[in-house]
């Protein structure tokens, strides 16, 4: 598939549309600026490289993870009441 080149004013008219199509297709979008320079916009694949890098090499981040893992966890509680015919929605905040 050929790389699409569009003028800046066209991108400005439908920025979200062009960016969504760029993401959906996985193809780079090249924008021609008014002075005829070219700018490439391309999707970035999501990966955990930054997180892996922080975990492996950043002592402060490792300490933060250890502190989080050692902290007590509160159990989840449901605030949803069972559905019953004729039961109205509760008023106010649920009890804690």
Q: Tell me: the pLDDT tens digits for 18-32?
A: 999 998 988 899 999
Question: Do the domain assignments include residue 39?
Answer: yes
91 vs 46, which has greater pLDDT?
A: 46
Within-domain flag for 83: no
Domain annotation covers residue 84: no
Q: What pLDDT does 14 receive?
A: 94
Domain count, the chain: 1
The confidence score (pLDDT) of residue 91 equals 54
Is residue 75 one of the residues assigned to a domain?
no
In a domain, 80, yes or no: no
> Looking at residue 5, what is its pLDDT?
92
What domain range includes position 52? 1-68
Q: Which residue has the higher pLDDT, 90 or 1?
A: 1
**What pLDDT is attached to residue 64?**
85
30-83 confidence digits (pLDDT tens): 999 999 999 999 887 766 677 777 778 888 888 888 888 888 877 666 555 555
Q: Which residues contact 44 (CB under 8 A, 6 or more apart)?
A: none
CA atoms of 19 and 41, how far apart (whole Å) = 8
Q: What is the CATH number of the domain that holds 37?
A: 3.40.1620.10
CB atoms within 10 A of CB 92: 5
46, part of any domain: yes
pLDDT, position 93: 56
């Amino acid at each position: 598939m050929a790389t699409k080149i569009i003028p800046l004013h066209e991108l400005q008219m439908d920025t979200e549309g062009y960016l969504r199509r760029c993401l959906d297709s996985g193809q780079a979008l090249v924008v021609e600026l008014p002075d005829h320079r070219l700018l490439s916009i391309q999707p970035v694949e999501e990966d955990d490289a930054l997180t892996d890098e922080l975990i492996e090499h950043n002592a402060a981040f490792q300490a933060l993870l250890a502190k989080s893992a050692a902290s007590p966890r509160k159990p989840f509680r449901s605030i949803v009441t069972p559905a019953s015919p004729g039961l109205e929605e509760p008023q106010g905040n649920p009890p804690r």
